[in-house]
Structure formats: structure tokens, C-alpha cells
Amino acid sequence: MKILNLMLVVALAIGVSFVCAADEITDKLKAKTESLLKIKVTSVSKSPVEGLYEIISNRGLLYASADGRFVMQGTIYDMDDKNRNITEQSIAKTRVSKLLQYSDSMIVFPAKNEKYQITVFTDINCGYCRKLHSQIAQYNELGITVRYLAYPRGGERSSTWQQMQSVWCSKDQQQAMTDSKAGQEIALAQCENPVQKHYRLGIEFGVNGTPAILLGDGTMIPGYKAPDILSEILITRS
């Protein structure tokens, strides 16, 4: 019995030491990457690749060696699991939880018989964003609610940035969105608006073009998808 108790104590001690060592690595990686790369790190955890850590930050997802010497940005696929995109899966989980904080600042075109919700990072002067919006009724008819976040591709100094602020500051946001995407000028308006927060969120999520469509599980589909094709994608994934 004494030997058994001793073995249990040793096992517990080893377990605690492993946890402490893991915490020490993640803490050091967080501190080092924030200091040297000037980013805000949300979480650090082991990746499925041995010796490689996953760093989720306000600039997207990074991978780092345990000592923080090597840092890389890219996509990891599991070739033995039908080329599963491990990177996208990790980011998708973060997107779902993060989006909850922005639901009140989206411009929403709801479907009467809603089956699905998509969230779209949009730019009012983007050709394919305009094409998507011109078919908004068709998406809604298929049970797809469309929620918009602002992503003016030209950045803060662009005229589109100011225009999108005006859309979000309009009394009728839906009409302002529709008019602006039809090429009509809308009245300039100023208010406390979420455009900058939306834009930074897009960068964090890895948006590099518009429209960028987020599905309910956090998966991002880059580019325009016709209503019937998007509906098929949603049905397949449900």
C-alpha cells in the first residue's frame, strides 16, 4: 500500500510539473511575440504539429517554435485526414465567439423564414459586394439572413471609409446600404460608429478581400457566391 501511495504521489508531481512547464512556455511565447511583433495575443496553445505552438492574435493566427525563435504565418493541412485545414478550424472557433460581441452593430437583412445566418465583411464600392447585395432578396427567399460588417479595403484614409461611416450613421441603415451599393450618393453623416472596430476584426479574422462570407460555424468563404450555390453550401454543412 505504501508503494502504491508513493507511486501516486510521484505521478501527480510529474503531472503538475508538465502543466507548469507548459504554462511557462505559453506565457513566455505570449510575452515575446507581443513585445517583438507589437501585437495583442489572445491565446497560445499547442498545435497538432509536434513542437509548434499556435498563437491567436489581433493580426491573425501565427505559429511559433517553443522557444519563440521561429515564427511563421501560413496554413497547415492534415494530409492524412482528407487535407483538413487545421488552421482554418482553429480560427473558425475564435470567430464564432468574437462575432457575438458585434451582433448589435451589424446591418442586417433578415429572412422571413430564416434557416441560416451569414455574416459578410463588405465594401460598398466592391463590384462583387454590389452584386451580392443586388440579390439580397434571393438570399432571403432561400432562408438566408445576411448580416453586414464594414471592411473598406482602402483603409482609414480612403473615401470609402468615410462613405461607410455615413451608411452606419444613417437613420435608415438598410436603405443607405442599398443606395450606396447601387452607386447613389448618400448624405454624409457622422456619429459614433463601428467601422474601425469592424475593420480591425476583419484583419484579425484573416480577411484579405471582399466580400468575405462567414458561415455559422465560423468558416470563412472568400469571394462572392450566388444565392443557389451558397444555399447548397449551407445545406451541406448543416
Please tell me which residue in 59, 95, 123, 130 is annotated as part of the active site: 123
153: annotated active-site residue: yes
3-state secondary structure of 184: coil
Q: What does the alpha-carbon distance between residue 24 and residue 10 come to, in Å, rounded to a whole number?
A: 21
Number of Cα atoms under 13 Å in the Cβ half of residue 116: 24
126: annotated active-site residue: yes
Decide: 66 and 27 in contact? Cβ < 8 Å.
Answer: no
172: annotated active-site residue: no
Q: What does the alpha-carbon distance between residue 160 and residue 34 come to, in Å, rounded to a whole number?
A: 31
95: annotated active-site residue: no
Q: What does the alpha-carbon distance between residue 186 and residue 166 come to, in Å, rounded to a whole number?
A: 8
Please tell me which residue in 59, 95, 126, 169 is annotated as part of the active site: 126
Please tell me which residue in 59, 95, 129, 130 is annotated as part of the active site: 129
3-state secondary structure of 125: coil
Q: Where are the beta strands (DSSP E) in 113-170?
A: 116-122, 144-150
Please tell me which residue in 153, 172, 200, 217 is annotated as part of the active site: 153
What is the residue type of 98? K
Active site residues: 123, 126, 129, 153
